[in-house]
Amino acid sequence: MQNLDFSVVTPYTGLLMTGLWWTIVMFVSSSILSLAFGIVFALVVLHAPAALALPVRFLTWLLMGTPLLLQLYLIYYGLVQIGIDIPALGAGIIGLSLHFAVYNADVFRAGILSVDPGQIEGARSIGLSRGQAQRYVVVPQALRKTIAPVGNNLIVLLKDTSLVSIIGIAELVYSAQLAISETYTPFEFYLTVAGIYYAANLVLEAGLQFLENKVEMSR
């Protein structure tokens, strides 16, 4: 069995770092959007009229019941057939954001329901509208309670950014595949990429743990 030779990776460090950069761009953009949409979806399902809540429930059912890979194919290759041409980067961000938004929405919904209803009554008694009570009282408390499960979703999102390579986005896995096509040394590059993902996960987990500790101290 031929020994692994990681020296072959060195000339492609720049390519892998570029791929890592686009992975980070995808992750940060999709994280922000999935969190924002998740909060909105949760509030719509809980408090909006049926005309708004039912489409969100259907979207949740649809996205939870189908693979992310299929969703990316449909957004990038399917929508263009009906005249909606979305660039690969945009399609990747939209796909990741919507897919994880519905999971975050479930978490936020549970967090909102766990807030004591007396909090809303107290907010209303000092003159806040129902919307202001949700914004300034309920949602902040729900967010504090959902840091751990939402953090788990973000960790999965980071790893799932690798799936956007199938629509041609030059993130980390795609960059490794380009290098492998030239060197024919898959193990060295895939193991290197695995190490980079593992390190990124450790950094993300440390950041989430720090945030969770800060929130606990502020209570």
The parent domain of residue 142 ranges over 6-218
**CB distance 146 to 108 below 8 Å:** yes
Domain count, the chain: 1
Task: Report residue 119 as tokens.
Answer: 């909090």
Calculate the dihedral angle through the C-alpha atoms of 129, 130, 132, 134, rounding to the nearest 10 degrees: 160
Q: What digits encode the pLDDT tens for the residues 30-88?
A: 999 999 999 999 999 998 899 999 999 999 999 999 999 999 999 999 999 999 999 99
pTM for this model (two decimals): 0.89
Cβ neighbours of residue 72 closer than 8 Å, sequence gap 6 or more: 91, 92, 95, 163, 164, 166, 167
Domain assignment of residue 1, yes or no: no
- Give the pLDDT band of residue 1 (cuts 50, 70, 90): very low
pLDDT tier, 218 (very low <50, low <70, confident <90, very high otherwise): low
Provide the CATH number for the domain around residue 58. 1.10.3720.10
